[in-house]
Structure 1
Amino acid sequence: MDSIDLEVLKTAAAWLNAGHRCELVTVIKTWGSSPRPPGAMLAIREGGEIVGSVSGGCIEDDLIASVARDGVSQTAPFLLDYGISADQARRFGLPCGGTIQLAIEPLSGASGLPELLARLGRGETVERRIDLKTGAVTLRGASADSTLHVDGDTLATVHGPRWRLFIIGAGQLSRFLAQVASAMDYRVTVCDPREEYRMGWDLPGVELVHCMPDDLVLEAQLDARSAVVALTHDPKLDDLALMEALKSDAFYVGAIGSRANNAKRRERLKLFDVTEAQLARLHGPVGIYIGSKTPAEIAISILAELTAVKNAVPAELLVPHATAAPMSVAGCVIP
C-alpha cells in the first residue's frame, strides 16, 4: 500500500510517460488553521484530473478550474497564496482565516520523477531541490530529520520514510499494521524467528527478518523517530525486545495482551533492571480504546495511539486500552 504522496508521484510519472501535461502542487507554508501540512502534494493534469490533496477540497476545485480555463502552465514554477483575506478563507474553506502557500511546478521529462521513484523504491530518503526560476531539479540523499524549506530561489522537498516501525511477530495483526504504517510513510521491519509465521509473507515494501527480536532492536540503534510494537504473545520473543526498546530513545514502545498479562510482563521486565520510569513508557495493552475486535480494527487502534504519541497529543485526551472499560479484544477479555 503506497502513501498518498507516493501515489501522487507515481501517477504524475505515469501521466508524463503517456504524453500528458501536468503540474505538481506542493504545500509550502501554512498560517493559522490548515487542513493539510507543509509537504502535502497533489498532481493535476490537462483535463482537470487530480490525485492527492492540498486542502479540504475547495482549493482543489479552484486549481481544476484554473487548468480548465488556462491549461497546464508551461512556465517555471511559481508560488501561490490562498486565504490571505477573510473572504478568501471563507471561499476556499480555510477555517479561522487560515492561509496556505503552494508551489505550482510544471512537470516534464527533466523533473526527475523516474529517478526519484527508483530511489524511493530502494527505501531511500531523498531531498528534491527545484530551482524556482528555471525549474531545474536535482536529487540528493536526505537525513531522517530533513524538512521542507525554501532557500532563496530553491525549494527543497523531502520524500521517503523518515519514521521507523519495528513489529515483533509476523502474524495476521502484524500484516494489517505493516500495511497501514507503510501508507503512513513508516519504514516497516517485521521480525519473527519462527519459520512457520514467516511462510507466505509477501508484503511489498516491508522488510522481514528472522533474527531474535532483541538483537534487531540493539542493531537498529533506536532513535526518537523509532517505534517498537510486540505482538507475539510469547514472552521469550517480546520481553527481551521490549527491555531493549524501553531503554532506548524510541518514541513509542507497545505490547499486545490483556491487562493481567501486561501486569505480569511489567514484573518480569523489572527482573531485567528496567526502571519504573522506563516501564512507564510501555503502552500495554497497546492501542487506543475504539471497541476494536478484529485484527484490522486492532491495527487501527495501535496506529491511532502511536500517531497521537508522535504528534504529542496530551495523554489526558486519549483513552488507551489500559484504562478503558473491560472489553473483548481478538477473542480475549481484557479484565
Structure 2
Amino acid sequence: MYGIALSVAACLRGGTRVDVAWNLDPGRTSRFDPADAVAITPGGGRLGSLLDGAIDSRLIEIAAAKPTSGRVVEIELNAIESHTVGVAPGTTIRILVAPASTLPGELWDQLLERRPTCLVAELDCDTVVETKVLQTDASGSAVEFGSDSVTTAWSPRPTFVVMGSGPMAEALAAAGELVSWNVEHIGGPDAAVGMAATLSSIDGLVVTGHDIEGTGRVLLAAMNSQAGYLGSVGPQSIQAARLDWLAYRGVTDTTRICAPAGIDIGARTPSEVAVSVLAEMIAVRNPPPS
C-alpha cells in the first residue's frame, strides 16, 4: 500500500476513479511483501504490484464494473496463476477490492508518511459497509478476520538505497536483502538522486565509489530528505573529498552523515563492512531507551 499511496492520492485529488486491491491471505503467499497492493485506473491501468501480477486480469474485470463499495473476493488460482504465485493449483486467495474514494482519507495520509497503519473493514457477508483507520505501533503487516470484519495492519519496510558498483556495493545490497529491506541498488548518481530525495525517517542510503561529484550529489539530495540514515563508505581521502564537495556548496553541518559508515568492529572484507553498516543503521533507527 505504501508504494501506491502517492499515485492513489493524486488520482483522488484529480477526481480520477481508482480501485485498490490487497491480499487478505499473506500466510499463503509468504514470498510476497504483505503490504503489497495494486491500484487500477479506468481502462485497466495498474499502479503497484500484487502477487507479481498473477491475478491482475481478474482484478481489472472487477474494477471495470465500477463497484460502489469494497468487497472481499475469493479467487481460486488456475495453473498459470498458481505457478506465478508459487502455490498449488486450486489454492484460494482472498482479496479485498475497493474504490479508493470509499476508504478514509487519513489512510492515505498515514501511508504517505510511511507510518504503521491499521484499517478495519466492517462486512455484511462479503461487502464492505464501513471502514475506519486505527492507530498502531505494529512492526509487521498482518490480517485478522472477525465474525463480521477484517482488519489489515500494514507496516512499511525500510528502503535501503545503495549507490555505486563493485564488491562493496554488492555486499551492502546483499546484506539489505538478508534483513528483508526494500533494497535499491543504483549504479549511477542520476537515478540515485531522485530516489534519495524521497526517503523517509525509516529509510537509509549509503554511497560508495570514487566519483566525488556523483556521490556528493546523492548525499546532498538525501540530506534534503527525511532519510534516517546516511552513510559514506570508502577510504579516508574519499570521505574528506565528499565532505569538501558538500562544504563548497554551503553544506557545513554534515553530522547526519556517518563517515566512515559502519560500527567499528574491525571489519575488513566487503561483507564484514556491510554487516557493520547495517548494524549501525539499525541502531540509528532503534536507539536504546534513555
The alignment's TM-score, normalised by the length of structure 1, stands at 0.49
Residue 91 of structure 2 corresponds to residue 101 of structure 1: no
Q: Percent identity?
A: 17
Measure how far apart 1:28 and its partner are: 1.4
Say whether 1:127 aligns with 2:146: no
Report if aligned partners of 2:114, 2:156 keep a CA contact under 8 Å in 1.
yes
- 5 Å-filtered alignment, 1:53-72, equals 53-68=49-64, 71-72=65-66
What amino acid does structure 1 have at the position aligned with 2:121?
Answer: I
Q: Equivalent residue for 2:227?
A: 207
Distance, in Å, in 2 between the alignment partners of 1:20 and 1:137 is 21
Asked if 1:117 is matched to 2:108, the reply is yes
Q: Structure 1, unaligned stretches of length 5 or more? A: 210-227, 247-253, 256-261, 264-281, 288-301, 307-335
| Residues 180-191 of structure 1 aligned to structure 2 (within 5 Å) | 187-189=202-204
Judging changes above 3 Å, is the alpha-carbon distance between structure 1 residues 178 and 141 closer, same or farther for their aligned structure 2 residues?
Answer: farther
The DSSP-based 3-state class of the residue aligned with 1:43 is strand
Asked if residue 82 in structure 1 is aligned to residue 76 in structure 2, the reply is yes
Structure 2 unaligned segments of length 5 or more: list them.
163-185, 208-215, 241-257, 282-290
CA distance in 2 between partners of 1:200 and 1:56 (Å): 32
Q: Secondary structure at the match of 2:52?
A: coil
Q: How far off is 1:181 after superposition?
A: 8.9
- The answer on whether the counterparts of 2:121 and 2:151 sit within 8 Å (CA) in structure 1 is yes
The residue that corresponds to 1:231 in the other structure is 233
3-state secondary structure, aligned to 1:74: coil
Q: Match of 1:45, as an amino acid?
A: T
- The Cα shift of 1:158 comes to 3.5
| 1:291 aligned residue | none
Deviation at 1:30, TM superposition (A): 4.7
CA 1:151–1:56 in 2, change beyond 3 Å: closer, same or farther?
A: closer
Offset at residue 24 of structure 1 (A): 1.3
Q: Cα offset for 1:286?
A: 3.3
What does 1:139-150 align with in structure 2 at a 5 Å threshold? 139-150=133-144
CA shift digits 1:119-164 (9 cap, x unpaired):
3444532223322344423223322524221230333334453548
Instruction: Name the CA distance, whole Å, in 2 between partners of 1:31 and 1:189.
Output: 28
| Structure (1 or 2) with the larger CA radius of gyration | 1
Structure-1 residue corresponding to 2:243: none
Alpha-carbon distance, 1:97 to partner = 1.3
Question: Given that residues 25 and 104 in structure 1 are in contact (C-alpha distance below 8 angstroms), is that contact kept between their aligned partners in structure 2?
Answer: yes
Normalising by structure 2, report the TM-score. 0.55
Whichever residue aligns with residue 38 of structure 1, its letter is: P
Offset, 1:58: 3.7
> Are residues 1:10 and 2:15 paired?
no
How far has the Cα of 1:53 moved from its partner?
Answer: 1.8
Aligned twin of 1:284: 272
Residue deviations 1:190-240 (CA, integer Å, cap 9, x gap) = 699xxxx6997123643378xxxxxxxxxxxxxxxxxx9662534996679
Find the aligned partners of 1:145 and 1:174 in 2 and give their Cα distance: 32
SS in 2 for 1:207: coil
SS in 1 for 2:2: helix
SS at match of 2:35: coil
Aligned to 1:161: 156
Give SS of 1:97's match. Answer: coil
Give the distance between the partners of 1:54 and 1:13, measured in 2 at CA.
19
Task: Give 1:60 shift.
Answer: 0.4
| 1:65 maps to amino acid | E
Q: What number of residue pairs does the alignment pair up?
A: 220
